[in-house]
Amino acid sequence: MSNQRKLVLFIATSLDGYIATKNESLDWLFKVEGEGDNGYSEFYETVDTILMGRRTYDWIMNQETEDFPYRNKECYVFSRSVNEDNKDVKFVNENIVDFTNQLKNKDGKNIWIVGGGELLHSFVKEKLVDELILTVAPTLIGTGISLFKEDNYQLDLSLKGIRHFNQFVELHYEVKK
Ligand SMILES: NC(=O)c1ccc[n+]([C@@H]2O[C@H](COP(=O)([O-])OP(=O)(O)OC[C@H]3O[C@@H](n4cnc5c(N)ncnc54)[C@H](OP(=O)(O)O)[C@@H]3O)[C@@H](O)[C@H]2O)c1
């Protein structure tokens, strides 16, 4: 086994596999009755580096929160169109395999891939994700931005744990290598 740090997907999904509606609403998610912060701060302590797609970054920036939520972490936003870093994030347009392997070989805590679905797809296809923690909402939304995309790939997983936070179920998987 390598002692590389891990790339972990921690994401909330509807039971039918969507991470947002087509118009990027998460109202269906926020109205679910959870428990505490549904394991968020516990997970957040395990990472020091964060990866996300440009549309997820835009979604965060459009929320009415004053501070960037991941200010104390090293945060990378993948984009082929934006490259102006700011005090909170660095924009990346590099080969994701090389970039991720370099990150994994550094010392530190684990790396969180926040999403969204498009960025995640490249990482899943390249088998770069080591663990998946899915927080499943008891909701079917029928259509939206899907967590996993249709394509030719297979990832075999091993179940590490199940918890529930009131109405949410957390599924924790490790990717078999
Ligand atoms: N339920 C949850 O927990 C959760 C978590 C995360 C996100 N979300 C939601 O997901 C939605 C966004 O997801 P999304 O799938 O539409 O978009 P996304 O994956 O967040 O971002 C897609 C963008 O990332 C860039 N990108 C993707 N792959 C790349 C690569 N290999 N190299 C360089 N850049 C790359 C491109 O940016 P450019 O167009 O700039 O080139 C692309 O348009 C938002 O509504 C967000 O709220 C939900």
Rounded Cα gap, residues 94 and 78, in angstroms? 8
For 27-82, how does the pLDDT look when each residue is reduced to its tens digit (9 = 90+)?
999 999 999 999 999 999 999 999 999 999 999 999 977 789 999 999 999 999 98
Architecture label for domain 7-175: 3-Layer(aba) Sandwich (3.40)
Question: Would you list the domain boundaries of the chain?
Answer: 7-175
Whether this prediction's pTM lies above 0.95 is answered by: yes
Q: Is the pLDDT score of 1 beyond 80?
A: no
Q: Which residues line ligand 1 (CB under 6 A)?
A: 11-12, 19-20, 24, 26, 53-56, 59, 78-82, 93, 96, 114-119, 122, 145
pLDDT 10s digits, 108-128: 999 999 999 999 999 999 999
Question: What is the CA(145)–ligand 1 centre distance, in A?
Answer: 10
Cβ neighbours, 10 Å, residue 147:
23
Whether the CB-CB separation of 50 and 115 falls below 8 Å is answered with: no
Query: What's the CA gap between 12 and 56, in Å, rounded?
Result: 13
Dmax over Cα atoms in the chain, in whole Å? 43
What pLDDT is recorded for position 98?
98
Q: Which atom of ligand 1 is nearest to the CA of 11?
A: 3
Mean of pLDDT over the chain: 96
